[in-house]
Amino acid sequence: MSFFIKASIEALKEFPAINAFIDGKDIIYHNFCHIGVAVGSDRGLVVPVIRYAEKLSFAELEQAIVDFVAKIDANRLELADLEGGTFTISNGGVYGSLLSTPILNMPQSGILGMHKIEQRPVAIDDQVVIRPMMYVALSYDHRIVDGREAVTFLKRIKECVEHPERMMMEI
């Protein structure tokens, strides 16, 4: 998950409207990333928020998720753990989802849906080869994000995940 969180943060920096929300007639932009991560539990889906995720390392992001899962399992999740997200990531792929449409966690203007990785045939250098493929989907508030931005945002996430060395080196 940390790779997708980091990739999302990089893309959010380039497309700040996806990290914003509408308040009345105003658009409120955030200069931070409070990333909600959907976690399944015996009692249903919850979305705890990793605050200032842009300041955390890959290991710190993974640890934050592990800590939330422990809190959820121990029934110690607090309301404050669920508030203040600016963008959400949902991974239906862990349940076998091949494609779905994630629902916005209002007032956020974007949610990334990740899906199951499967081996699929692709054409590379005029040859059909089998590669692991995963679909991702972005639901967004069309009042402040248009389709061009949304598609370019997803393309940026794809670039980051396929070539993580720049994220890892923080360049």
136 within 8 A of 157, measured Cβ to Cβ: yes
pTM: 0.92
Selected residue with higher pLDDT from 171 and 11: 11
Q: Give the DSSP H or E segment for 2.
A: helix 2-14
Q: Which domain holds residue 140?
A: 2-169
The pLDDT, as a whole number, for residue 171 is 64
Active-site residue (options: 23, 34, 81, 146): 146
115 annotated active-site: no
The residue-averaged pLDDT of 158-171 equals 84
Active-site residue (options: 26, 67, 125, 142): 142
Percentage of the chain lying above the pLDDT 70 cut: 99
58 within 8 A of 8, measured Cβ to Cβ: no
Three-class SS of 39-101: EEECCEEECCEECCHHHCCHHHHHHHHHHHHHHHHCCCCCHHHHCCCCEEEEEHHHHCCCCCC
pLDDT tens digits along 24-47 = 999 999 999 999 999 988 888 999
Q: Please report, for the domain that includes residue 84, its CATH number.
A: 3.30.559.10
